[in-house]
A and B are shown apart, each in its own frame.
Chain A
Amino acid sequence: MKSTPPSSPPIRRGRTRTVLPGFGLSAAITSLMIVGLVIIPLAVLILRAASLGPAGFLAAAWTPRARAAYAVSLGASLAAAIISSLLGLLVAWVLVRLEFPGRRILDALVDVPLALPTAVAGLVYSTLYVEKGWLGQVLVPMGIRGAYSRLGIVLVLVFVSLPFAIRVVQPVIESLDKDTEEAARLLGASKSQTFLRVVLPGILPAVVTGFALALARALGEYGSVVFISGNMPFKTEIAPVLIVSRLEEFAYAEATAIAVVLLGMSLSMLIVVNVLQQRLARNAQ
């Protein structure tokens, strides 16, 4: 940084910013944390799984029980992300476009799942939907079991992922140009045509980003699901729960292999989110 060789020009890209001090210190702290806490642990995890060899990895990560767990994880997370996206769009739309008493309170309540510990959510959901619970006494006689079932997993995953779906879409609806909608209406488009042809294309990238974020969050969720799912192998056991139960049996190799599969799923979601957000930013310009 300090001793620039005389041959190279002293002017760097963004030169105006380099007069500020603290590059070395902030770079040191940042790389210590990112390398020490993110890169090394994840690399060790992947290397441990790789050291099993292809056959060993498959034997550990692709057992019938593990496959069932991936299927439950993916299925429940997809269902939850779809429901969250639809409900999120509805809530975001209402928050932005309608004026009603208590709007600010509704807006604040949307963030509850971000602040409420997931263990509390899981505990409460399981007590709400059992036979004697507030909602269970109505739903269980109708044959709807919201606790110790796959439906229960979807319910808590919707709870934890809903804020992501709402908060990504909300600012985009705020920034929509209402004149275009009015023009479409004046030109004879019906309300549903206006929504499908004018509004939806504008907010769809945000809805999809919210969906991907919700899916990524749901795939990794553990704390709330462990309370409500009953954790029955082949039925209601999700991948993170299987990792923990393998760990508790000291089956580190199997736990690691399953963790790498789960990590692969979530990191591909992260890449999807990044690509979508870049496209979103480009569209906004």
Chain B
Amino acid sequence: MTSKPRDAATATSPLGLLLLAGAVATVGLLIVAPLASVFVDAFSNGPRAWWEALAHDPDTRHAIWLSLTVAPLAVLINTIFGVAAAWLVARFRFPGRSLLVSLFDVPFSVSPVVAGLALVLIFGRQGLLGPTLAWLAVKVIFAWPGLVLATTFVTLPLVVRELIPVMEAIGPEEEMAAVSLGANGWQVFWRVTLPNIRWALLHGVVLANARAMGEFGAVYVVSGHIAGATDTMPLRVEKLFQEYRTPASMAVASVLAALALLTLVAKVFIERQLETESKELEAARAPGADTDPTTGGLGP
């Protein structure tokens, strides 16, 4: 996607200029203006006020800490799931495989609010497991485990979707060679599979982390919105806004926006690595032309 377009036209024709202006206006008005205004508004009272809004409010401090705990936990769970599910789908054939693959995408098309409600119906006080959890004195809804579950649900497809196409493209040959040379499962994974998929995995992890840090709807429903206890950073943004403390709200928002920008920079870098690797893979496959005498090594 970031590669230079082959035989692209330069934007010198009137029509080209018009289209370019339209695209720039679209991205400028819809994306750049809001993004820029977060930082302008957040620092409108100077960096000192910005810092005080973040560091001197105990509820905001707690929200930052909670987000930094919940998001990595959800991402960790989804990394383990993503690797396992991609291994299952890309390396084995079994009945129900394509159904399973479409189930991976379900969280994308379920409203986060609906997902949160479903979790409340199971783990809430009047939910299916409510009495059991009360007896065990374990709190899931209105507590951090609920936040982790909700965040895991909404980010579920992100890692596995990155891994499946890459693992299918690489193919099982290297892993099978390792097995036939006597490597056990974990050795195959750590020495062969992981080095091959590391950039795709990182890509998925970065995307999942961005979504996890920013999740609002699902987390809103399961958190109970208790300041200083179950408010994550996005929830804190909303609460400060409701309390007419827009500058403080903007300060928290600016941290999240900076994180989003960082994510994008990482994403561009990782995509460049992925592109290089897929080209190397193609180049490694190209000597396959040697085994095909009809193309004489000149074929595509």
Contact with B along A205-221 (1 / 0, CB 8 A): 00000000000110111
Which applies to chain B's interface (DSSP): helix, strand, loop or mixed? helix
Q: Does B110 contact A (CB under 8 A)?
A: yes
| Contact B16 A38, beta carbon cutoff 8 Å | no
Which applies to chain A's interface (DSSP): helix, strand, loop or mixed? helix
Point out the residues of chain A lying under 8 angstroms from B268, CB to CB.
Answer: 104, 108
Point out the residues of chain A lying under 8 angstroms from B73, CB to CB.
Answer: none
Q: Does B15 contact A (CB under 8 A)?
A: yes
Listed stretches B28-36, B47-55, B292-300; interface member:
B28-36
Contacts A26-B84, A97-B5; A90 near B121 (Cβ below 8 A): no
Of A16, A18, A19, A91, the residue contacting B26 (CB under 8 A) is A91
In Å, the complex CA distance between A91 and B1 comes to 13
Chain B: residues with Cβ within 8 Å of the partner, total of: 102
Smallest Cβ-Cβ distance to A215: which chain B residue? B109
| Contact A44 B118, beta carbon cutoff 8 Å | yes
Listed residue (B91, B156, B184) with the most chain A CB atoms within 10 angstroms of its CB = B91
Q: Does B88 contact A (CB under 8 A)?
A: yes
| Chain A min CB distance to B89 (Å) | 8
Q: Does A66 contact B (CB under 8 A)?
A: no
Q: Does A45 contact B (CB under 8 A)?
A: yes
Listed residue (A26, A34, A170) with the most chain B CB atoms within 10 angstroms of its CB = A26
Q: Does B147 contact A (CB under 8 A)?
A: no
In Å, the complex CA distance between A99 and B3 comes to 12
| Contact B113 A125, beta carbon cutoff 8 Å | no
Point out the residues of chain B lying under 8 angstroms from A121, CB to CB.
Answer: 34
Point out the residues of chain B lying under 8 angstroms from A123, CB to CB.
Answer: 237-238, 241, 249-250, 253
| Contact B175 A20, beta carbon cutoff 8 Å | yes
Listed stretches A3-11, A196-204, A264-272; interface member:
A264-272
Of A26, A44, A93, A216, the residue contacting B108 (CB under 8 A) is A216
Listed stretches B131-139, B194-202, B215-223, B281-289; interface member:
B215-223
Contact with B along A104-120 (1 / 0, CB 8 A): 10111111111111111
Point out the residues of chain B lying under 8 angstroms from A111, CB to CB.
Answer: 264, 267
Point out the residues of chain B lying under 8 angstroms from A239, CB to CB.
Answer: 111
Contacts A45-B114, A127-B246, A222-B112; A135 near B1 (Cβ below 8 A): no
| Contact B19 A98, beta carbon cutoff 8 Å | yes
Chain A: residues with Cβ within 8 Å of the partner, total of: 98
Point out the residues of chain B lying under 8 angstroms from A50, CB to CB.
Answer: none
Restricting to B120-172, which residues have a CB under 8 Å from any CB of A?
A: 120-122, 126, 128, 149, 152-153, 156, 172
Of B15, B23, B103, B149, the residue contacting A91 (CB under 8 A) is B23
Point out the residues of chain A lying under 8 angstroms from B32, CB to CB.
Answer: 109
Of B88, B110, B207, B264, the residue contacting A42 (CB under 8 A) is B110
Contacts A91-B23, A94-B20; A115 near B260 (Cβ below 8 A): yes
Contacts A94-B23, A116-B260, A252-B121; A170 near B1 (Cβ below 8 A): yes
Q: Does B24 contact A (CB under 8 A)?
A: yes
| Contact B110 A30, beta carbon cutoff 8 Å | no
Restricting to B28-46, which residues have a CB under 8 Å from any CB of A?
A: 29-35, 37-38, 41
| Contact B26 A171, beta carbon cutoff 8 Å | no
Q: Does B182 contact A (CB under 8 A)?
A: no
| Contact A119 B238, beta carbon cutoff 8 Å | yes
Restricting to B186-229, which residues have a CB under 8 Å from any CB of A?
A: 188-189, 207, 210-211, 213-217, 220-221
In Å, the complex CA distance between A217 and B104 comes to 16
In Å, the complex CA distance between A18 and B9 comes to 49
In Å, the complex CA distance between A202 and B220 comes to 42
In Å, the complex CA distance between A42 and B102 comes to 15
Point out the residues of chain A lying under 8 angstroms from B121, CB to CB.
Answer: 41, 44-45, 48, 252, 256
| Contact A120 B234, beta carbon cutoff 8 Å | yes
27 cross-chain CB contacts under 8 A: A16-B176, A17-B91, A21-B188, A38-B106, A38-B156, A41-B121, A44-B118, A44-B121, A90-B26, A94-B19, A98-B5, A104-B2, A115-B210, A115-B264, A115-B267, A117-B213, A117-B233, A119-B256, A120-B38, A123-B237, A134-B33, A159-B30, A162-B26, A216-B109, A220-B112, A227-B241, A255-B117
Could you list which residues of chain B lie within 8 angstroms of chain A, going by C-beta atoms?
1-2, 4-5, 7-11, 15-16, 19-20, 22-24, 26-27, 29-35, 37-38, 41, 77, 80-81, 84-85, 87-88, 91-93, 100, 102-115, 117-122, 126, 128, 149, 152-153, 156, 172, 175-176, 179-180, 184-185, 188-189, 207, 210-211, 213-217, 220-221, 233-235, 237-238, 241, 246, 249-250, 253, 256-257, 260-261, 263-264, 267-268
Could you list which residues of chain A lie within 8 angstroms of chain B, going by C-beta atoms?
12-14, 16-23, 25-27, 29-30, 33-34, 37-42, 44-45, 48, 87, 90-91, 93-100, 104, 106-121, 123-125, 127-128, 134-135, 155, 158-159, 162, 167, 170-171, 174, 178, 191, 216-217, 219-223, 226-227, 239-240, 243-244, 247, 252, 255-256, 259, 262-263, 266-267, 269-270, 273-274
